[in-house]
Amino acid sequence: MIFVTTGTQDPFDRFIQAIDLTLPYMNGVEVVGQVAKSDYQVKNFVVHEFLSPKDFEECFSRADLIVAHAGMGTIISALVKEKPILVMPRLAKFGEQRNDHQLATAMRFDKLGYINVAYDEVELMHMLKTIQAKPLTPMFSINDHASKELISSLSNFINL
């Protein structure tokens, strides 16, 4: 199953439409979507506007691949659960976000080799088609907590 998530804040039609248009070429793979208020009408998969933390968790665990906006919450969850993840950053020039921090994050994590990134919808469609033959694998995994340095630095400052 592929779990598609855009976060709950703003629409991301460019991303959703690319997935919807590619699905007929993906041999009937199951897709579940958590999609914030979209203008585009999804035809080829089930979408929920908001999932409770529990349902979100369930979809996440059941998924073989996460396809998402480049939101930090989703990226961290994928790294913790060792799920392969493909992200497409929201861009300010299309009104998908107020600034380009998702692009900056995606580029950094792409360079570190933590995540798969499609920088636009054409690249996303291409990557979705090719994962049929060559599935993505988790690239990096992380622990349940922040780094020891950050924890002890915070702890020291709290106790100061």
Residues 48-77 that bind other proteins (CB under 8 A): 52-54, 71-77
Please report the beta strands in the chain, taking only residues with DSSP state E, as ranges in sequence order: 2-5, 31-34, 46-48, 65-69, 85-88, 116-117
Nearer residue to other proteins within complex by CB, 16 or 71: 71
Q: Residue 23 forms beta bridges with which residues?
A: none
- Taking the complex as a whole, how short is the minimal distance between the CB of residue 33 and other proteins, in angstroms? 17
Residue 105 interacts with other proteins (CB under 8 A)?
A: yes
- Taking the complex as a whole, how short is the minimal distance between the CB of residue 107 and other proteins, in angstroms? 8
Smallest Cα–Cα separation from 15: which of 119, 113, 106?
Answer: 119
Q: How far is CA 120 from CA 8, 12, 17, 53, in A?
A: 20, 12, 12, 28
Number of amino acids touching other proteins (CB under 8 A):
38
Nearer residue to other proteins within complex by CB, 99 or 137: 99
Contact 24, 11 (CB under 8 A): no
Burial zone of 47 (CB within 10 Å; 0-12 exposed, 13-18 middle, 19+ buried): middle
Residues 131-160 that bind other proteins (CB under 8 A): 142-155, 157-160
- Taking the complex as a whole, how short is the minimal distance between the CB of residue 144 and other proteins, in angstroms? 7
Nearer residue to other proteins within complex by CB, 21 or 80: 80
Residue 102 interacts with other proteins (CB under 8 A)?
A: yes
Residue 92 interacts with other proteins (CB under 8 A)?
A: no
Give me the DSSP letters along 122-141: HHHHHHHHHTTTS-------
Tokens describing residue 110: 């792409």
> Where along the sequence are the contacts to other proteins (CB under 8 A)?
7-9, 52-54, 71-77, 79, 101-102, 104-105, 108, 114, 142-155, 157-160
